[in-house]
Amino acid sequence: MNTLYYGDNLDILRDKIPSNCVDLIYLDPPFQSGKNYNIIFQPKLNKIKGATAQIKTFEDTWRWGDEAENEFQGLIIGTITKEKPNQKLIDLIKAMRGYLGECSMMAYFSMMAPRLVEMRRVMKDSASIYLHCDPTASHYLKLLMDAVLGARNFRNEIVWCYAGGGIPKKDFPRKHDIILRYTKTDNYFYQPIFRPYSPGTIQRGRTKVKGKYAEQGLRPQGTPVNDWWSDVPKITSPTDPENLGYPTQKSEALLERIIRVSSRDGELILDPFCGCGTTIAVAQSLKRKWIGIDITYLAIDVIKKRLEKNRIQEGVDFEIDGEPTDLYSAEKFAEQNPFQFQIWCVSKLDATPSQTKTGDQGVDGILNFIDVTRKSKPGMGIIQVKGTQTVNPSMVRDLKGTIKSQNADFGILITLKKATQGMVTEAVKEGYTESKKKIPKIQLLTVEDLFKKPIPIILPGQILPPYRKPEFKKEQGDLFLK
């Protein structure tokens, strides 16, 4: 079955994906840009007071430390991947460390190397891999790809040209990305695609300088697409219908071209840095099988809702591997990664996660709704998540204060442990919201309740979907959503 994996892609590639099973890999890893990327939501139609809700999706700023050192050493001694040590790769990374030193680029290099080794292992002999990067590190990554896949298996350096965005005062505007295309062997699948001839070529036809090809005339399908792409759109406008507001999101047209060229119906596509899931969505629409991996639960939830919007259902058409499936695994999740645990809890209520630069203002999630009984007045419910093993009435009082300060209509408190009688009493004191439905001002849920179908909660009738469409421009790696 098609699978979304939540977790570190190195662990998942190594432990869960067998050798020689993937037909095409597309990866759009961090570029070593030095930026922090946030997905920013407009959480309420009149928004949260004091801050805009946002979540850091990833930090594209690498630092040399214990993790980089462990990956470097593990690659050399052969303990970090299933493959035997690759001497060419070992020589390369040693030389690069000698040249670069223990810097951010070397940390990035050490992160990418073992993952590319594992990607080669899972590729079929007929498979291709497209690594999407930019000029910041493309020259280093090409050396790395040569060492892992063999320089003889380099096929193209595709230059994706685009317009839009800012214009620097002291440099040429940077308006292209690099896509490195390699294969595992010489026995690979490739189906060329064509573009129309220019009007001049159509008028001239094939001239005598084409030699023996002059007599053949022009191809009815057009001329093959070159290795520079200026005809593939980039998502730049906040009003673009594709725009999910996810940082570094690529257009469906880009992925459609890559998937059509290098795979056939029913073949398996892998995206180990799947982000908001464009590769997954396009693979699904082109009748390919797919695997997606991401280290943030936010990405998994965005992809899940993106698929379900198109009637692709979890448990029927795809599965999610790595999220909690019972109370015990949820408790472990809360212990190991409290922030991702909060996002998971909020996602179970189909709400929008919330995290601000200056703190979360006591709001971990947002439920926007329209109340038709109040002349379609917009409303907001807020969610707080407590991943601790202790509970007490002060938690309810804190939520009460947050509801008031944010001018929210109601609040939901999610705790690992069952609420005490004192907490229940504090919640009941708050009464109900003004609505056709009798909605308690404060509702108490346990994490165990999140596994029930339906979840025992009372909500307004018209809940707005999470992850609203973009409204504002990208700025400093941040993207704004309605």
Say whether both 101 and 238 belong to one domain. yes
Percent of the chain surpassing pLDDT 70: 85
Question: 452 vs 462, which has greater pLDDT?
Answer: 452
- From 304, 321, 338, the end of a domain falls on 321
User: Is pLDDT of 472 > 60?
Assistant: no
By C-alpha distance, which of 223, 160, 227, 224 is closest to 197?
A: 223
By C-alpha distance, which of 55, 2, 27 is closest to 302?
A: 55
Say whether both 377 and 283 belong to one domain. no
Taking the model in full, what pTM does it have?
0.88
Say whether both 314 and 343 belong to one domain. no
Average confidence (pLDDT) over 163-182: 90
Average confidence (pLDDT) over 118-125: 98
User: Is pLDDT of 476 > 50?
Assistant: no
- Establish if 221 belongs to a structural domain: no
User: Is pLDDT of 42 > 50?
Assistant: no
Say whether both 291 and 349 belong to one domain. no
User: pLDDT tens digits, residue range 281-307?
Assistant: 999 999 999 999 999 998 999 999 999
User: Is pLDDT of 56 > 70?
Assistant: no
What pLDDT shows up at residue 250? 92
How buried is residue 156: exposed, middle or buried, by Cβ count under 10 Å (0-12/13-18/19+)?
A: middle
Which of 38-42, 403-407, 445-449 is modeled with the greatest confidence? 445-449
Query: Are 277 and 296 spatial neighbours (Cβ–Cβ below 8 Å)?
Result: no
Say whether both 148 and 261 belong to one domain. yes
- Residue 323: pLDDT band with limits 50, 70, 90: very high
- Establish if 218 belongs to a structural domain: no
Say whether both 391 and 315 belong to one domain. no
What pLDDT shows up at residue 330? 95
SS3 350: coil
∠ CA(107), CA(108), CA(114), 5° rounding? 95
- Establish if 209 belongs to a structural domain: no
Say whether both 353 and 300 belong to one domain. no
The separation between CA 352 and the C-alpha centre of its own chain, rounded to angstroms, equals 16
Say whether both 280 and 425 belong to one domain. no
Percent of the chain surpassing pLDDT 90: 65
How buried is residue 380: exposed, middle or buried, by Cβ count under 10 Å (0-12/13-18/19+)?
A: buried
Say whether both 33 and 9 belong to one domain. yes
Say whether both 268 and 409 belong to one domain. no
Average pLDDT, the chain: 86
- Establish if 459 belongs to a structural domain: yes
- Residue 374: pLDDT band with limits 50, 70, 90: low
Q: Which residues of 11-21 are buried (b: 16+ CB within 10 A; e: fewer)?
A: ebbbeebeeee
User: pLDDT tens digits, residue range 193-249?
Assistant: 998 887 777 767 666 545 555 456 678 888 889 999 999 999 877 778 888 877 778
What pLDDT shows up at residue 51? 34
User: Is pLDDT of 471 > 50?
Assistant: no
Q: How far is CA 250 from CA 82, 162, 243, 256, 287, in A?
A: 31, 12, 9, 11, 20
Q: How far is CA 209 from CA 204, 205, 206, 212, 213, in A?
A: 12, 11, 8, 9, 9
Say whether both 394 and 471 belong to one domain. yes
- Could you give the dihedral angle defined by the CA atoms of residues 149, 150, 154 and 159, in that order, rounded to the nearest 10 degrees? 60
What pLDDT shows up at residue 54? 42
User: Is pLDDT of 154 > 70?
Assistant: yes
- Could you give the dihedral angle defined by the CA atoms of residues 366, 368, 371 and 376, in that order, rounded to the nearest 10 degrees? 140
What is d(CA 441, CA 382) in angstroms, rounded to the nearest whole number? Answer: 11
Q: How many CB atoms lie within 10 A of CB 69?
A: 13
Q: What does the block give as tokens for 48?
A: 């949260």
- Establish if 65 belongs to a structural domain: yes
What pLDDT shows up at residue 249? 87
Domain containing residue 99: CATH number: 3.40.50.150
Domain that holds residue 467: 327-481
How buried is residue 417: exposed, middle or buried, by Cβ count under 10 Å (0-12/13-18/19+)?
A: middle
What is d(CA 277, CA 416) in angstroms, rounded to the nearest whole number? Answer: 30
What pLDDT shows up at residue 219? 80
By C-alpha distance, which of 261, 264, 182, 253 is closest to 224?
A: 261
- Computed on alpha carbons and rounded to an integer, the radius of gyration of the chain in Å comes to 25
Query: Residues for the chain: how many in total?
Result: 482
What pLDDT shows up at residue 99? 95
- Establish if 47 belongs to a structural domain: yes
- The residue type of 341 is F
What is d(CA 206, CA 196) in angstroms, rounded to the nearest whole number? Answer: 14
The residue with tokens 């290099």 is 109
- Establish if 237 belongs to a structural domain: yes
List strands edge to edge, sheet with 478-481.
53-59, 36-41, 478-481
Element (H, E) at 93: helix 87-100
User: Is pLDDT of 20 > 80?
Assistant: yes
- From 321, 349, 384, the end of a domain falls on 321
* 160-164, 179-183, 416-420, 443-447: segment of lowest average pLDDT: 160-164
Q: Into how many domains does the chain fold?
A: 2
- Establish if 214 belongs to a structural domain: no
- Residue 362: pLDDT band with limits 50, 70, 90: confident
Say whether both 306 and 376 belong to one domain. no
Average confidence (pLDDT) over 409-424: 95
What pLDDT shows up at residue 372? 66
- From 302, 321, 340, the end of a domain falls on 321
Domain containing residue 376: CATH number: 3.40.1350.10
The separation between CA 307 and the C-alpha centre of its own chain, rounded to angstroms, equals 13
* 26-35, 305-314, 383-392, 445-454: segment of lowest average pLDDT: 26-35
Average confidence (pLDDT) over 106-116: 94
